[in-house]
């Protein structure tokens, strides 16, 4: 193959798996490593045009969506998500998954919007099952919603988590989701190459694509370019429950919903299984479906057995928060120091829209992970990188 011929990275991986199985009865791991290097290369910074530096004033003028639209990371990640979705073999599942990421509207609200008595009934059910903290009020149950048919924001502009956590910048949700999908591919290929069996690509791709999608609703951007705080339901972020409820409303296969539900904890331990059953129950109440009849839980309030391996892989794929969270905290602290020292921001500006706009743009251009990486290796390099992205004049 010519080195100049462009090959879809995901398709190259699929071909590599098929080819490696027949390499004289060996695992073909060396070939896989070479293929991996070729696959990663098109997304490397060395192969990507560097964004033009903008002034601090221009940085302040951009909306979160405009920030994401200027982010190579966000656009690359969203394209990767769409490519993964295109590989889902089940036509109906592929179509629903694509329509949901293109229009992540909180359609579950069609039943609750403007209906306080219905909200109260759900609120009471969740409270009675100890799925809401004692101090949560009915008014806090759902994020602000103007329309059940219109998303609060597109997937492209949503952050990956709350304001001081992983991938918390415009485009962060796409970066986080693409990372999880890439992990899913790598786990699937590892077990194919070494153990000679195949996990369900459809289940992994659909569950990883959709499990955080309602962060578009939960983490709406405020006027000061910070984002809303998240409610906890069943001892996990409410986005997890809303996203499950959305998938139940769209009647996705139980295997996909179960894998999605396991993203936040290990289904193989008793406490983890109990939490997952609670999340599925909360989402089913919200979606107004019977979780037992749908096959999400048993009548003994347990997960169906035997547990599927895709459930565990779904959990592992969502695990980059282990270092992405501390990386975010470090990166944001570094940016705050540089904003004060090099860009002359006052304490009031550091706590307001000025710094929020500054950090959002830099996060979407550089990412918290890379900022933390550069800072841990060369503090001067990260400062130069920031100055090359947003000028001080």
- Exposed e or buried b per residue across 259-283, where buried means at least 16 C-beta atoms within 10 angstroms of its C-beta: bbbbbbbebeeeebbebbbbbbbbb
Element (H, E) at 225: none
What pLDDT is recorded for position 281?
Answer: 98
Domain extents in the chain: 9-103+168-199+327-391, 109-153+212-317
Question: Residue 134's pLDDT band (boundaries 50, 70, 90)?
Answer: confident
Let me know: does 81 contact 177? Beta carbons within 8 Å: yes
Task: Give percent of the chain above pLDDT 70.
Answer: 87
| Whether pLDDT at 44 is above 70 | no
Q: 355, exposed or middle or buried, with CB in 10 Å at 0-12, 13-18, 19+?
A: buried
Query: Strand 54-55 vs strand 390-391: parallel, antiparallel, or unpaired?
Result: parallel
* pLDDT tens string 252-298: 999 999 999 999 999 999 999 999 999 999 999 999 999 999 999 99
Mean pLDDT computed over every residue of the chain: 89
CA dist 118 to 141, 230, 259, Å? 12, 21, 29
pLDDT tens figures, 300-342 = 999 999 999 999 999 999 988 889 999 999 999 999 999 999 9
Q: What's the confidence (pLDDT) of residue 119?
A: 98
pLDDT tens digits for 56-94? Answer: 999 999 999 999 999 999 999 999 999 999 999 999 999
Q: What is the pLDDT of residue 21?
A: 40
Q: Which of 34-43, 128-137, 179-188, 305-314 has the lowest mean pLDDT?
A: 34-43
- For 262, the token pair is 């396991």
What is 151-187 written as a DSSP string? -SS-GGG--SSSTTSTT-STTHHHHHHHHHHHHHHHH
- Radius of gyration for the alpha carbons in the chain, expressed in angstroms and rounded: 22
Indicate the helix (H) or strand (E) that contains 55.
Answer: strand 54-55
Residues 6+ apart with CB under 8 A from 383: 338, 342
Burial of residue 315 (CB within 10 Å: 0-12, 13-18, 19+) is buried
Q: 299 phi and psi, to 5 degrees?
A: -70, -5
Query: Quick check: 140 pLDDT over 90?
Result: yes
Q: What is the DSSP string of 192-224?
A: HHHH-----HHHHHHHHHHTTTTHHHHTPBPTT
Residue 11: the pLDDT is: 54
Q: Which of 216, 229, 217 shows the shortest CA–CA distance to 157?
A: 216
| pLDDT above 90: percentage of residues in the chain | 82
Assess whether pLDDT exceeds 90 at residue 39: no
């Amino acid at each position: 193959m010519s080195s100049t011929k462009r090959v879809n990275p995901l398709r190259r991986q699929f071909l590599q798996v098929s080819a490696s199985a027949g390499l004289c009865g060996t695992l073909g791991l060396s070939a896989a490593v070479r293929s991996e290097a070729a696959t990663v290369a098109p997304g490397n910074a060395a192969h990507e045009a560097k964004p033009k530096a903008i002034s601090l004033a221009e940085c302040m003028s951009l909306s979160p969506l405009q920030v994401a639209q200027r982010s190579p990371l966000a656009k690359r990640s969203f394209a990767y998500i769409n490519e993964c979705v295109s590989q889902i073999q089940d036509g109906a599942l592929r179509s629903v998954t694509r329509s949901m990421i293109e229009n992540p509207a909180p359609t579950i609200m069609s039943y609750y919007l403007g209906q306080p008595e219905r909200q109260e009934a759900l609120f009471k059910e969740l409270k009675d099952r100890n799925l809401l903290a004692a101090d949560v009020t009915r008014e806090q149950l759902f994020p602000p919603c103007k329309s059940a048919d219109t998303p609060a924001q597109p997937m492209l502009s949503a952050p990956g988590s709350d304001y001081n956590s992983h991938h918390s910048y415009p485009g962060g949700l796409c970066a986080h989701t693409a990372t999880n999908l890439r992990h899913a591919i790598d786990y699937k290929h590892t077990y194919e190459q070494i153990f000679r069996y195949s996990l369900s690509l459809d289940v992994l791709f659909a569950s990883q694509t959709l499990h955080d999608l309602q962060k578009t609703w939960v983490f709406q951007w405020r006027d000061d370019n910070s984002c809303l705080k998240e409610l906890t339901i069943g001892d996990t972020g409410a986005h997890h429950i809303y996203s499950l409820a959305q998938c139940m409303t769209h009647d996705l296969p139980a295997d996909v919903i179960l894998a999605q539900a396991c993203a936040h904890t290990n289904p193989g331990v008793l406490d983890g299984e109990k939490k997952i059953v609670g999340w599925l129950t909360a989402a089913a109440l919200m979606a107004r479906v019977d979780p037992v009849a749908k096959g999400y839980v048993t009548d003994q309030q347990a997960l169906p057995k035997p547990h599927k391996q895709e459930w565990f892989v779904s959990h592992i794929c969502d695990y980059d928060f282990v270092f992405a969270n501390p990386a975010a905290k470090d990166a944001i602290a570094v940016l705050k120091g540089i904003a004060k020292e090099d860009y002359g921001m006052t304490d009031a500006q550091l706590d307001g829209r000025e710094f929020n706009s500054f950090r959002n743009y830099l996060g979407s251009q550089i990412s918290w992970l890379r900022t933390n990486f550069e800072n841990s290796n060369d503090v001067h390099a990260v400062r130069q990188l920031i100055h090359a992205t947003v000028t001080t004049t």
